[in-house]
Structure 1
Amino acid sequence: MKLANHVYGQWVEGAGEGIALTDPVTGEVLVSVSSEGVDVARALEFARRTGGPALRASTYEARAAMLGAIAEVLTAKRAEYFDIALRNSGSTEADAAFDIDGAIFTLKSYVRAGKSLGGARHLKEGARVALAKTDVFQGQHFLMPLTGVAVFINAFNFPAWGLWEKAAPALLAGVPVFIKPATPTAWLTQRMVEDVVKAGILPQGALSIVCGSARDLLDHVGECDVVSFTGSADTAARMRTHPQVVANSVRINIEADSVNSAILGPDAQPGSAEFDLAVKEIVREMTIKAGQKCTAIRRILAPSGVSRALADAVAGKLAGCKVGNPRSEGVRVGPLVSRAQQAAAFEGLAKLREECETVFGGDPDFEPVDACASMSAFVQPTLLYCDKGLAARHVHDVEVFGPVATIVQYADTADAIAIARRGRGSLVASVYSGDTAFLGELVPAIADLHGRVMVVDAAVGANHTGHGNVMPTCLHGGPGRAGGGEELGGLRALAMYHRRCVVQGGPALLEALSRDAADAALLGN
């Protein structure tokens, strides 16, 4: 079966045999995708001219209701999506829930947030500015929805959440969405789009999808479009310098590589609540989705006197994790999504081993449960140990996108700060400490290079939302090598899909324009 593309208000099957999507456990070919023959320029223009005006004719509140209807459709089809995630991504039940339920939760969050904007169609920012000696001439800043299209080029690891965490704020803003999902796991994204289109929730042109090669997609983006990309830093660099993107100053949002850190404070000694919480979260981050998360823990910073005990504790927990076919009882860790990703993980792991010792994993004779090692895409969870600190190179530069993490010992707070910053920009760092002096020095010193800093102590305990769990009400993104982008953060995400302008004129005009506007201060919610 070949998955169809949804463009210019119709389903179009790409030409040729297409690219095969496979089961990463068995190697079975499931479906194929092709974008050959799709007129991308026409598809984008249809979205701009048909989908955009229809969306913007509605209010924020009405568009929030559309998101609610989408969430209901996805909830009703949840079991089918779990089956696709199992077959195409090798997802365990927990992995699938992380992606699919996370998508539904995010949509519902934007339903609630969107209602607060009421019957408005644009946003008013701040008070009027006097521009003359009397009130006859004034200025008012507005945020107006973009009249272009939101182009999403997504990663393979979150085919459900990766779509809807981007689409929810774009659609709420009144901007049509064009999705180019990562090819290896495009099936789930395509099925969700198909179900939403069939339900007739959105106007024609508001939701488009092309599966397979992106081909000449960026050749047709314009000055009112937004391009949002999740993937490698190398691909991101090419996108930023694409001639059409540069010529039209296209707004671009990037989420790229990230060597995220978990940091144990000096008080997180074995037996302490902070130590135990760190061990639990490290193991969870290494095993959920087989470590295939942009936010997963890659470096574990620990005081030199505690680092070996931490390594033993984490290794002990990993030894109890069953790795293999997600269809088998008790399996906690599934495969990577493809043999290509497996090969990339092995390549990165070999680099890390040049300056690290292996604490757990790395068994050349490793055999997954109920799966053939030579046909499948498994990587055994692997814990490494590095005593070189800042002198190491690969540990701070190489992100192995799989169940691999490295413990790095540090000497003091200044050393921990320097090592954390050596990642050159990360999506998230989590800190396990109740030491206020340590936290007061560390957190401000690393904050400018991290999109999110999560601090867990005994009082927080198990109530934290998770190192790698992106909450729709909080910022997702990171500076430097993490891409410099920003997503989510509640209604803050709508700023990406609006353009600020100031209208100068008489008070009657400004009053008329303001009647249809919600307060932009609500974007801080």
Structure 2
Amino acid sequence: MKKLGNYITGNWIEGDGDGQQLFNAVNGDIIATATTQGLDFKSILNYGRTKGTRTLRRMTFHERGRMLKALALHLLEHKEKFYTLSYKTGATRADSWVDIEGGIGNLFSNASLRRKLPDEVFALDGDNIGLSKGGTFAAQHILLPKEGVAVHINAFNFPVWGMLEKIAVNLLAGVAAVVKPASVTCYLTEMVVREIISSKILPEGALQLICGSAGDILDHVTFQDVITFTGSASTGLLLKSNPNILRENVPFNLEADSLNCIVLGNDVTPDMPEWDIFIKEIRKEMTSKAGQKCTAIRRIFVTENKMEDVWKAISKSLAQTTIGNPENEKVRMGALAGQTQKKEVLDQVQKLLASSQLIYGSLDSVELIDADINKGAFISPLLLLNETPFKSEEAHNVEAFGPVSTIMPYKNIDEAIELSKKGKGSLCSSVVTSSKQFARNYVLGAGTFHGRILVLNSEDAKESTGHGSPLPLLIHGGPGRAGGGEEMGGLRGIKHYMQRVAVQGSPTMLTAITNVYQPNAKGNRTTIHPFKKYFEELKIGDQLITDKRKITSDDIDKFADLSGDHFYAHIKTTDFDDTMFEQQVAHGYFIMSAAAGLFVDSVEKNPVLLNYGIDELRFTKPVYPGDEIYVRFTCKEKIQQELKDINPDVPFVKGSDIPRGIVKWYVEILDETETPVIGVATILTMVKKKNTN
């Protein structure tokens, strides 16, 4: 019998003993066994820290991002063999697409975040904070990768996505991972990890896998490590309460199964498209992955006068769902992950039936295609009705982790909000309505009890990713019963694996540390104009002080005529009583244009390819005729740019193959009193590289 491997300390190692038997969810056959008996978990963690994390921390965000992209492309090439094995978990092709290609897509999404991060081993967090009147003392928060490992204890329902969506974040942050998938479906995770390791794309130690029990791993974590757990709230609480975790203050991100809900707005009637959208969303959420999703809809709230129409429509829709062997193309819902899971679901349903009645489905029979109910872990979709949701608590406290939902009535928006909150914190909720007021009231009223709220109507339904879809750039987590954690969330997710440090010092010293020019730092005056330097030649702090220019009334009149901006303040004949100005004032955009005339060098070609944009432009002091201005122009930051892949099927864009980078310039426009007339402007230019390789 096949025994799954554990990839630890650079080797594939089988645990001792026979281990736990893992079964095919469709026909009950034994697939493999898994065990971690005999593994040294302390050594596993130390290896990840000293080998994997140490290497990752020396890589820049851009290097890590390109590594994730390469890994995603590699896994896409091998996806079909993952699909073949995924059927054994009970998942249909559509279910597996979410798990496999959804997980790979997460790698792509996180890889693209590198463009929002510096080509550095650390990142700035927020703006410079001045701490003194004279400007000689300031602070800057920075983010550094933690020196530990990420320990991911995952659920059984998404054996691929559950791993990839988590490691994508910690790897981009610069931290290695130890993944412990749920045993019942870990054979699929093991196959994917074998492909990852064989690709040699990740540095050694960046990813380790343990198939089986987590042993005493939590007894050896430190405050530099991060633990994530996805699963039941009771198990999560047990793990989170580990004395070593409490003693070491180890960050613990908990995502627990929750009683998510969907609300049908009181404005929706059967003749509206929102009605069909609502029914379709419920069927999809009940049958996708056979309801084995932490984000699945468990509670359905509908106005009292529409209850019967709704549950009949849901029942009719569920009846169209074909169930059976997921390898059969006609099947739309497969099996639960195993017989143990099936028994647990039915046990939970019995608890729900204490205050609800079954209005669709059967507890002991289901019509199957190409499958045997005595061998596979199949179950009928079950729709329950609870007519007293404020008096009975079971529907708000008991979760049957399968194709099970309970429909309940509400009278008004306040009751809908109150019922949604009775779940005591959920990962997500949806509201289907065409009423802007109903949507606003629901979001503002229920938002504190949910991690995400989807507002569905005829405008967005076609392109919506659906009720429970966790998106890489949005937080995945929820308050209260849902665990209080936040997985993913774009840059927010990355920060969970980094230490925020407030660095205090002089602006010049902060510039040297961060490699980003800080306000009031000393500039580097050079005889060569900054625009004549290639990207590699520019240094942070390179500075130009321009000549002065006197602004005249004639300048202002000409700019008004050229731009068409004849705002009263720019016209010299205006009566300026009861205005903010003493006399005719120059246009802010004219001052910016005049400043460009001062700092732009000659008409000859130079490494500057183009002006890329302006950030943070503020007009802080009026400029009157007779005032003199000059510019202090400083190289603030340099950002590497990757060449776009040239697609032979797409028309070539001139200049897209020129090696280049983006340079941010800190621009201060001052008058003769040394007072900024434009507070701060950051100008971006695209600058050619000297090295064309």
TM-score in same-fold range (> 0.5): yes
Offset, 1:126 = 2.6
Cα distance, 1:437 vs structure 2: 2.2
CA shift, 1:329, in A, is 3.7
Gaps of 5+ in 1: 520-525
Task: Give the number of aligned pairs.
Answer: 518
Which residue in the other structure is 1:214 paired with? 214
- Alignment partner of 1:322: what SS? coil
Matches of 1:51 and 1:364 in 2, distance apart?
50
The answer to whether 1:317 aligns with 2:317 is yes
Task: Please report how far the alpha carbon of residue 138 of structure 1 lies from its aligned counterpart in structure 2 after TM superposition.
Answer: 2.6
Q: TM-score, normalised by structure 2?
A: 0.73
Specify the SS of the correspondent of 2:496. helix
Q: Once structures 1 and 2 are overlaid, which stretch shifts more, 175-184 or 117-126?
A: 117-126
Work out whether residues 255 and 477 of structure 2, in 8 Å CA contact, stay in contact via their aligned partners in 1: yes
**Correspondence for 2:253:** 253
Corresponding residue for 1:162? 162
> Per-residue displacement from partner, 1:396-451 (whole Å, max 9, x unpaired)?
11111000111111111111111000000001110000112222222101001100
2:295 aligns with: 295
The 3-state SS of whatever aligns with 1:170 is helix
Within 5 Å, give how 1:263-274 maps onto structure 2.
263-274=263-274
Residues 365 and 380 of structure 2 are in contact (CA less than 8 Å); yes or no, is this contact kept in structure 1?
no
CA displacement 1:179-221 (0-9 Å, x = unmatched)? 0010000011111111111111111111001110111010010
Q: Name the structure 1 match of 2:80.
A: 79
Q: Does 1:96 align with 2:96?
A: yes
Matched, 1:275 2:275: yes
Q: Which residue of 2 aligns with 1:63?
A: 64
Aligned 8 A contact 2:257 2:295 in 1: no
SS in 2 for 1:85: helix
CA distance in 1, matches of 2:179, 2:51: 17
Q: Could you say if the C-alpha distance between residues 141 and 322 of structure 1 is closer, same or farther in structure 2, counting changes exceeding 3 Å?
A: same
Q: Distance in 2 between matches of 1:94 and 1:313?
A: 24
Q: Is the 8 A contact 2:228 2:254 kept in 1?
A: yes
1:16 paired with 2:20, answer no
| Bigger radius of gyration among the two | 2
Matches within 5 A, 1:111-130: 111-130=111-130
Q: Secondary structure at the match of 2:249?
A: coil
Q: Which residue of 2 aligns with 1:440?
A: 440
Judge conservation of contact 2:129–2:138 (CA < 8 Å) in 1: yes
Q: Distance in 2 between matches of 1:492 and 1:16?
A: 42
Q: Which amino acid aligns with 2:292?
A: Q
Cα distance in structure 2, aligned partners of 1:297 and 1:33: 32
Match of 2:365 in 1: 365
CA distance in 2, matches of 1:388, 1:336: 30
CA change 1:329–1:126 in 2 (3 A) is closer
Comparing 454-463 with 508-517, greater Cα deviation is found at 508-517
More divergent stretch after superposition (145-154 vs 190-199): 190-199
Q: After alignment, is 274-283 or 502-511 more displaced? A: 502-511
CA contact (8 A) 1:122 1:516 kept: no
Query: In the alignment, is the contact (CA less than 8 A) between 1:120 and 1:516 conserved in 2?
Result: no
| Distance across 2 between alignment mates of 1:149 and 1:255 | 19
What is the rounded CA distance, in whole Å, between the counterparts of 2:415 and 2:155 in structure 1? 34
CA apart distance, 1:130: 3.4
Q: Give the corresponding residue for 1:429.
A: 429
Deviates further, 419-428 or 136-145: 136-145
Question: Secondary structure of 1:14's match?
Answer: coil
Q: Per-residue deviation at 1:297?
A: 0.5
| Residues 1:308 and 2:308 are matched in the alignment | yes
Deviations 1:478-501 (A, max 9, x none): 000000000112222111011111
Residues 365 and 379 in structure 2, CA contact (< 8 A), matched pair in contact too: no
Q: Does the 8 Å CA contact 2:53/2:206 hold for their aligned counterparts? A: yes
- The farther-off stretch of 176-185 and 25-34 is 25-34
**2:663 aligned partner:** none
- 1:367 CA displacement: 4.2
In the alignment, the residues of structure 1 paired with residue 150 and residue 176 of structure 2 have an alpha-carbon distance, to the nearest angstrom, of: 6
Structure 2 matches for 1:112-511, cutoff 5 A? 112-511=112-511
Q: Using the alignment, how far apart are the partners of 1:440 and 1:197 within structure 2?
A: 48
Secondary structure in structure 2 of the residue aligned to 1:454: strand
Q: For residue 173 of structure 1, report the CA deviation from its aligned partner.
A: 0.5
1:91 positional shift:
1.1
Once the two structures are overlaid, the 10-residue window that deviates more, 446-455 or 183-192, is 183-192
Instruction: Give distance in 1, aligned partners of 2:34 and 2:126.
Output: 48
**Partner SS state of residue 424, structure 2:** coil
Q: What is the aligned partner in structure 1 of residue 43 from structure 2?
A: 42
Q: Is the 8 A contact 2:264 2:278 kept in 1?
A: yes
Amino acid corresponding to residue 47 of structure 2 in structure 1: F
> What displacement does 1:133 show?
4.7
Alignment of 1:28 with 2:44, yes or no, is no
Residue 141 to residue 371, structure 1, CA distance change in 2 (3 Å): same
SS of structure 1 residue aligned to 2:390: helix
Q: 1:491/1:157 Cα in 2 relative to 1: closer, same or farther (>3 Å)?
A: same
CA distance in 2, matches of 1:308, 1:346: 25
Structure with more relative contact order (C-alpha pairs < 8 Å, separation 6 or more): 1
- Name the aligned partner's letter for residue 303 of structure 2: P
Counterpart contact for 2:346–2:363, Cα < 8 Å:
no
Aligned equivalent of 1:107: 107
Considering fraction of residues, name the structure with more helix: 1
CA contact (8 A) 1:270 1:306 kept: no
Q: CA contact under 8 A between 1:121 and 1:516: conserved in structure 2? A: no
Whole-Å Cα distance in 1 between the matches of residues 363 and 183 of structure 2? 30
Q: In the aligned structure 1, how far is the partner of 2:149 from the partner of 2:10?
A: 15
**SS of residue matched to 1:341:** helix
**Comparing 322-331 and 471-480, the one that deviates more:** 322-331
CA distance in 2, matches of 1:83, 1:444: 44
Q: Is the 8 A contact 1:262 1:299 kept in 2?
A: yes
Give the distance between the partners of 1:130 and 1:154, measured in 2 at CA. 44
With normalisation by structure 1, the TM-score equals 0.96
Letter matched to residue 50 of structure 1: K
Assess, with a 3 A threshold, how the Cα gap between structure 1 residues 514 and 23 changes in structure 2: closer, same or farther: same
Superposition CA RMSD, Å: 1.5
- Confirm or deny: 8 A CA contact 2:20 2:212 kept in the other structure: yes
1:522 alignment partner in structure 2 = none
Q: Which amino acid aligns with 1:215?
A: G
8 Å contact kept, 2:229–2:254: yes
Alpha-carbon separation, structure 2, partners of 1:93 and 1:138:
56
CA distance in 2, matches of 1:277, 1:401: 23
Shift of 1:257: 2.1
Q: Which runs of 5+ in 2 are unaligned?
A: 518-636, 639-693
Q: Which residue of 2 aligns with 1:523?
A: none
Report how far residue 165 of structure 1 moved. Answer: 0.8
